[in-house]
Structure 1
């Protein structure tokens, strides 16, 4: 389907879709729009570089290339793999060397990068610049807002090449892929529990510590797990929408949803 082409006074050409008025300055983005919005084709995103594919065979070949490239940049300390030497160096400095030179002048908390410090600063002002138009979710990061919106749209662009698993976040897919490799590197020091993610281990350890960070705003109920709080809110109070339960260590709100 050919676009409606328009040229402005500066000579810039734009491509407009005649079916829904979608407009872009690149033909590639226009073609992608037609395929996904009007031809029913499904986009597949690379879990490493965000490159998009419509052909599954091309997608799989691309992922194999990343798997080969990753073997070059393995962290010598924890064997985490990276696609570039720069990302590996950043990981080593921040995680293993503890290099955090950017300090918050209000609470003295230190961060590896200026970007991390800037995001943290919103926790003191409470003025989060990116807000969801559907619910009360707010964040200091545009990417986090984009991921959150998928809870409302149901979009799950990240697909496993080995099974039918699909998710709205690339990090979830990365953790899921470990279930196929059996790589459960995070181990509990008090029992035999193992998991593929640090967050999963942290959540599990609440069983041993008795910590219950999720509080119900309508009664005295507390839980160690967000899923239990959501179930409680739904059955006891009839609440099914997103809720903010607590504040994370970074100062950003923890928003829970059963959408």
Structure 2
């Protein structure tokens, strides 16, 4: 009996089985060899479960893939249909959607609908609560509130030492070209150049009698 117990102890020790578990197993009619087999099975099951859990964790933490890449520019998409639309509108420059009011064409039907609603139907469903302004699209209303009522100026002058800020990027670019670079992009047909289109028009009225 002692030899049988020592054999069971050795088997249990090799497989990490607790003494209490071994005693309970033997008292219920189990054999020493069964203790070893049970422990080995339990260890194998635990390892498999741990490996499965690790694989699942690694899979869940993997970054979202964008498997559909454009052959022309390399830009990748999550959906095949998005890649097809990109190729059709950007590289092939297809514009199959025509406006029924004018000659304008569009690559996407959604852009055509926006064009019609804003330009031809004059729909302005988005109204400012602080003034009488109204807009065709919600982002236009948001931009209006931020720039007019909140005085937001997100575009800073790119020249070192200048702290001027502007509400629109076009105004910031114009400031750089006219103030810092002293450029005069507006040219009259007589050769005179001006920083502002308004100044050129005034010149044409005064010098060339244009109205």
Q: TM-score range by the shorter chain?
A: 0.3 to 0.5
Give the structure-2-normalised TM-score: 0.42
Q: Which has more helix, going by share of residues?
A: 2
Higher relative contact order structure (alpha carbons within 8 Å, sequence separation ≥ 6): 1
Which of the pair has more CA radius of gyration?
2
Give the structure-1-normalised TM-score: 0.35
Q: Which has more strand, going by share of residues?
A: 1
